[in-house]
Amino acid sequence: MALYSEKVMDHFRNPRNVGTIENADGIGEVGNAQCGDIMKIYLKIENDTIMDVKFETFGCGSAIASSSMATEMIKGKPVAEAMALTNKAVAEALDGLPAQKLHCSVLAEEAIKKALQDYYNRNGIPYDKADFPKEETCHSCCGVQA
Ligand code: FES
């Protein structure tokens, strides 16, 4: 059986929404010191809706595919729906990721959450800190080889 699904390969080879957004309303960056992957998400938000989303990912194929899929899943959606996106949903939408690569989809979820937190901060919107990743994220699962 192939290690990666067709969908993972497709999003890895033709990633959607790559790039940056000038004057973004929210920017979120997460990194993993151990595997060295860095993911940055840019959001354009109007009327509580994700009007546009772009990403830059320096990392493994699964991280790129996860960012691509995650951005597709929140584009055009209300902020609350983007907040509710889980790495599990991203991995499922990709028809699965190998177990040792699941942490790559966690990066996508966290980068989006951080970008939303940035949006809330900039606009003085109150939120519960517990809903967001901690400042220093450490994935013990990232001791694996990329
Ligand atoms: Fe892909 Fe860690 S995020 S190897």
Per residue in 102-139, pLDDT tens?
989 999 999 999 999 999 999 999 999 998 887 654 45
Question: How confident is the model over 84-113, as a mean pLDDT?
Answer: 95
pLDDT at 133: 81
Would you call 27 helix, strand, or coil by DSSP? strand
Residue 142 Cα to ligand 1 midpoint, Å, equals 6
Out of 3, 68, 104, mutate this one to test ligand 1's pocket (max ligand atoms within 8 Å of CB): namely 104
- Spatial CB neighbours of 137, under 8 Å, sequence gap ≥ 6: 30, 32, 110
Residue 121 Cα to ligand 1 midpoint, Å, equals 28
DSSP output for 76-96 = TSBHHHHHT--HHHHHHHTT-
Strands (E), 15-135: 26-31, 38-46, 49-58
Residue 70 Cα to ligand 1 midpoint, Å, equals 15
Would you call 31 helix, strand, or coil by DSSP? strand
Asked whether residue 9 carries a pLDDT value surpassing 90, the answer given is yes
Around ligand 1, the residues with Cβ closer than 6 Å are: 32, 35, 37, 59-60, 62-63, 103-104, 107, 142, 146
pLDDT at 34: 76
More confident residue, 2 or 78: 78
Mean pLDDT of the chain: 91
Which residues are tagged catalytic?
A: 35, 104
Asked whether residue 144 carries a pLDDT value surpassing 50, the answer given is no
pLDDT at 79: 97
Q: Which atom of ligand 1 is nearest to the CA of 63?
A: 1
Q: Which atom of ligand 1 is nearest to the CA of 139?
A: 2
